[in-house]
Structure 1
């Protein structure tokens, strides 16, 4: 069914196209051509004007092959990669894994998903497999904080069920839940003074911030909630003789439950305010929801459809809750029930990244079987 050589060749072609996040223009042009040549209607939205990235999001529509009641499907992957992702030199090892030469990432996150989509479309056409409408949404800026999907117009989405091809894990794993995330920016303002002459006249913003962070409950809050301070800065390089007036912190909180997230963020805010008040300093605390949570169980139609397709592909479905966000979070927030399917890539975002050829093939097969099962269910 899946033509392995063709699929691998296309994957190798895609990963050699430089597309570090923010510089998606070249891969976008190639993808528009490829989807158009397969007979799909392709549109690029205007989100690049808002995100500053090299491309907008691509919306590629494959009309239903015949009249029927098959649900409308959506498959999504992103076109950008992390750094270092320029000059990738892929190679297939004797162990059946595709890797870079070790100086860059490979880019299977998420060009494995893109290659699987393209191969699945070819198989559907070549074998005349009946299908309902299928929308392929290729996002830009996913690696920069879901910028493309966050900037898209939800009205462009037209699907009953969505499937992101963008999760780590073994083939068969289905991310049926992922948390909402709040980005947190904190600025402490103290009072400057000479550290050697009159330090008692100063209020060190660094000291105040340090006390606040030490008093916060961070890390694993409970099984559904986490929090972290990821950046702490203040002072002037080399100027150790100044009591620091300003310190800036960046952090986050995540939870599968919005109420728990709200409580965690509020606890962090109150801790910062208490530390500032005690020291006679000031604090500005700002939090922003970056993406919403989603959560399904095995009875959800989107999960049941994915599970049937996985079994048809010889895989055992395994449902799990992810601790990270993806475009699936945004599509769920836009009203399209979407799960994230594991596609087998390993050690992503590192120069040891790799993917097995057999998993690349299996991912394309699963896409075809999702389409088959959706059509069968409507008969």
Structure 2
């Protein structure tokens, strides 16, 4: 059994440390000292200098028997995450309501450290374990993108970075393309000579009216999230920018939807005699872990031994696991018990958090 009180105490310490994205240094330094005090040998990399963060990723490992497994969680939080004051309310922990809680993802860190502390202090036989705590997960997965994969040998990974019940184990996740569009029309006096102009917003409107967005199918979505343009009401709008996205579990469908959106803008520009610039960036690749693998079977059996029947599921968001998958590491994403992440109402369910840690300890240790 894990030391639940110790895990909760550590979690409350972690969320009290400011570590909004780009500013993870204090959290990194705290964890490095703690890990050294626990007898681990943490290392860092230079990821921060590559992605505008003052912190770096943390790596450490435990030797063991058999195939290694990687464990992962991230150190950064979204805003507002400064001066978090965690409050225990029965079986949950919340913030004081003026900030997020930071359970996303410091609950994952607390779970991993408690399980490994149990292994170390009780000298338990275990699998070889490799741990990666990343920076800058929120808003780009940039810690994982800039990690030093030469420090890792494991081909399977458990990412503790999702919420809800333990029954739902994520084994697939969407890929995302960001599609940034700039429509170039032509300025003219809106009252004097409007016919001399080309209204960029009218061009964009034609494109959007012909475009499939929202829920495309069970695997694919698309959205236009930001539109900016215009100088004054008496000027025919000369330029408008649109920030769009497409997501899909299928790489083929993602490409098809992206091309469809581009085609709509190009057709509209041609119709009005305008010009359009399109920039497509793949934010992260899809994640598709083989559900017939020994790794996934062992995950399922471990939960079953705890009387938990899991459902292998997919998610419409990305995580560090997407990046690990692109490096040949097969991830599953397990709940920490967090709810309402990225909001002032965020909370952690302590029963689920405890069970998540007990699952990890049971999975890692050998008879």
Contact 2:337 2:350 in 1 (8 A): no
Q: Which stretch of structure 1 is more off in the superposition, 155-164 or 323-332?
A: 155-164
- State which of 229, 237, 243 in structure 2 corresponds to 1:244: 237
Deviations 1:213-245 (A, max 9, x none): 221101111111111111110123xx2111111
1:365 matched residue in structure 2: 358
* Separation in 2, partners of 1:62, 1:146: 25
Give how far 1:344 is off.
1.6
* Separation in 1, partners of 2:220, 2:196: 40
Contact 1:80 1:142 in 2 (8 A): yes
1:200 matched residue in structure 2: 195
- State which of 307, 316, 325 in structure 1 corresponds to 2:318: 325
Runs of 4+ in 1 over 4 A off after TM superposition: none
1:52 matched residue in structure 2: 52
RMSD: 1.3
Give how far 1:194 is off.
1.2
1:147 matched residue in structure 2: 142
Give how far 1:297 is off.
5.0
Q: Does 1:306 find its partner at 2:291?
A: no
* Separation in 1, partners of 2:152, 2:176: 23
2:16 matched residue in structure 1: 16
- State which of 93, 96, 99 in structure 1 corresponds to 2:89: 93
Structure 1 counterpart SS, 2:283 = strand
Give how far 1:169 is off.
2.2
* Separation in 1, partners of 2:10, 2:307: 24
Give how far 1:153 is off.
3.1
Q: Does 1:353 find its partner at 2:346?
A: yes
Q: Does 1:116 find its partner at 2:122?
A: no
Q: Does 1:212 find its partner at 2:207?
A: yes
2:163 matched residue in structure 1: 168
* Separation in 2, partners of 1:29, 1:173: 33
Give how far 1:272 is off.
0.6
Which runs of no fewer than 5 residues in structure 2 stay unpaired?
none
Provide the TM-score with structure 1 as the length reference: 0.94
Deviations 1:316-358 (A, max 9, x none): 2111111111001111111111111122211111111111111
Contact 1:233 1:247 in 2 (8 A): yes
Contact 1:162 1:302 in 2 (8 A): no
* Separation in 2, partners of 1:186, 1:10: 45
2:79 matched residue in structure 1: 83
Deviations 1:240-281 (A, max 9, x none): 111111111111111111111111111111111000000000
Q: Does 1:340 find its partner at 2:333?
A: yes
* Separation in 1, partners of 2:86, 2:93: 7
Give how far 1:134 is off.
0.7
Structure 2 counterpart SS, 1:231 = strand
* Separation in 1, partners of 2:189, 2:148: 53
Structure 2 counterpart SS, 1:360 = helix
Which runs of no fewer than 5 residues in structure 1 stay unpaired?
none
* Separation in 2, partners of 1:184, 1:339: 28
May I ask how many residue pairs the two structures share in their alignment?
A: 367
